[in-house]
Amino acid sequence: MGNRQEILLTGAGGQGLILASIVLAQAAVNDNKNVVQTQSYGPEARGGASMAGVIIDIDTIEYPKVVNPTILLCLNQASFTKYLPRIKKIGECVVIVDSTFVSGPFRDEYKVKSYPITRMAKEEIGKEVVANMLALGVLNASTNIIDREIFRESIFELAPKGSGELNQKAFDLGYSLYKHGSGQNKEETIQNSQ
């Protein structure tokens, strides 16, 4: 069971989390791993809460729902508040939050890493919609679960026609954000990235 990664991607509807989860799952397939992707469905297409789970394993995956998250991504405050308590192995689960929308509280034992994901997407790329791919860049840079090149190709494969390179650029920006902008809390991250 040591290989098993249980990833929760959470935020608001419209932030592209479902697509991000599909891209992540496709990347896992392309990287010859077993994968199951699930998502929570609400009646609203925009706004509301959005959550997707991706389980990646070398072994066959039976129970398809995330029980014991090893990676948690939160793109808004509501999801951070809701899903942080789902973590069972506190300190072992990688917690990545978007400081544009999430303001804590960041208790030390959770080792929350905060990055200005949406703000960077807007400022550096000029498009907020690619925040999801930027988040995947940060996520993969932090955890190395998928080969970086395979991940980039998967993004190109699934991106809407004509936007492949832009989405790859966002993914790469996630890597540099991880390298330069990681912080244990929000204040630090914002200062670093400014």
Partner 1 sequence: MPETKPVLMQGNEACAEGAISAGVRFYAGYPITPSTEVAEKMAVRLPDLGGVFIQMEDEIASMAAVIGASIGGMRALTATSGPGFSLKQENIGYAIMAEIPCVIVNVQRMGPSTGVPTAPSQGDVMQARWGTHGDHPVIVFSPASVYETYYLTIAAVNLSQKLRQPVILLLDEVVGHMREKVTIPKDSKLMVEKASDKVPADWKPYDDKGLAPLVPFGFGHYYHVTGLFHDQYGFPTGDPPQVERSLERIHEKLMKYRDEVILTNYIGHKEPRVVIITYGCTVRSARAVVKKAYWNNRMPVGLLSLQTLWPFPDKEVKEVARKADVIIVPEMNMGQIVGEVERHVKDEAEVVPLNRYDGEMISPDQISEMIGRWLA
Nearer to partner 1, 36 or 97 (CB): 36
DSSP readout, 86-122? G-SSTTTSEEEEETTT------GGG-EEEE-HHHHII
| Angle subtended by helix axes 148-158 and 17-30, to nearest 10 | 130
Nearer to partner 1, 27 or 125 (CB): 27
In the bound complex, what is the minimum distance in angstroms from residue 105's beta carbon to partner 1? 29
Which positions from 7 to 36 touch partner 1 by CB under 8 A, shown as an x/- string? ---------------x--xx-xx--xxxxx
Contacts to partner 1 from residues 67-96, by CB under 8 A: 67
**Rounded-to-integer distance, Cα 29 and Cα 145, Å:** 12
Per DSSP, the three-state class of 184 is coil
Residue 39 binds partner 1, judged by CB under 8 A: yes
**Rounded-to-integer distance, Cα 18 and Cα 38, Å:** 9
DSSP state of 32: T
Residue 38 binds partner 1, judged by CB under 8 A: yes
Residue 143 binds partner 1, judged by CB under 8 A: no
Radius of gyration of the chain (CA): 15
The stretch near partner 1 (CB under 8 A) out of 2-10, 58-66, 93-101, 168-176 is: 58-66
In the bound complex, what is the minimum distance in angstroms from residue 54's beta carbon to partner 1? 9
Q: Which residues make up the interface to partner 1 (CB under 8 A)? A: 22, 25-26, 28-29, 32-43, 61-65, 67
